[in-house]
Homo-oligomer: A and B are copies of this chain.
């Protein structure tokens, strides 16, 4: 029995909120305590983000699928994992949940609840990094989600842990999180004007991985339909 849309949307809102609170909050704490050592600050930020992601996917996975990310929701709709009609509600919950997460982190650390980021993250290398980061994220999801769904929380959390370090952009890989981080002038922020090419690269990277894995694992969409949408056989392509 799939939970009702309102419950799934609430799960996406809460989960994305906690994810962003973890990213932004641990960035603030890491920068405050690390005495100017950027590697140490990013290490603490990474550890908190990866660990939170594993915990949150376990927590909300059985309710909403624990997307927390519009790229994941779009890809899942393309592969018929969720109905296109549910997509706007999911994406809205992710975007507003993420913003709520920024506000919560700021409140916890005694900062103004909103502050437009002035952190420069621009240039071809950064944008290309977001393409690679999101290509990798969706590869991990499509590689694991249908055949080893129990491994998804660990695989995704560990992938992001790695991608914080192996991409030049520290791997945002998520439009909702990117928007939310543009509203925090702290360690993990991004200038709003830099957020636009990031989001564009994320969408392209995610789509590319989705189509690549359709080739690599041919029965993917078919299997998805059988598992997740038996009630909507009329949707089959």
Please indicate the chain B residues that have their CB under 8 angstroms from the CB of A46 in the complex. Answer: 47
Please indicate the chain B residues that have their CB under 8 angstroms from the CB of A44 in the complex. Answer: 39, 42-43, 165
* A interface, CB within 8 angstroms of B: 3, 7, 10-11, 14, 18, 21-26, 29-30, 33-35, 37-52, 54-56, 58-63, 104-105, 107-110, 123-125, 128-129, 132, 136, 139-140, 143-144, 147-148, 151, 153-159, 161-169, 212, 215-217
* Given A7-B215, A62-B147, A168-B108, residue A50 in contact with residue B51 (CB < 8 A): yes
A180 to chain B, nearest CB (A): 14
A227 to chain B, nearest CB (A): 15
Mind listing 26 A-B residue pairs with CB under 8 Å?
A10-B216, A14-B139, A18-B136, A22-B166, A26-B162, A35-B37, A35-B38, A40-B40, A43-B47, A44-B165, A46-B47, A49-B162, A51-B159, A52-B159, A55-B155, A58-B140, A58-B143, A59-B155, A60-B143, A63-B143, A108-B129, A108-B168, A108-B169, A109-B168, A151-B153, A157-B158
> Do A155 and B108 touch across chains, with their CB atoms under 8 A apart?
no
CA distance A163 to B19 in the complex (A): 11
A123 to chain B, nearest CB (A): 7
Count this chain's copies in the assembly: 4
> Do A54 and B22 touch across chains, with their CB atoms under 8 A apart?
no
> Do B165 and A25 touch across chains, with their CB atoms under 8 A apart?
yes
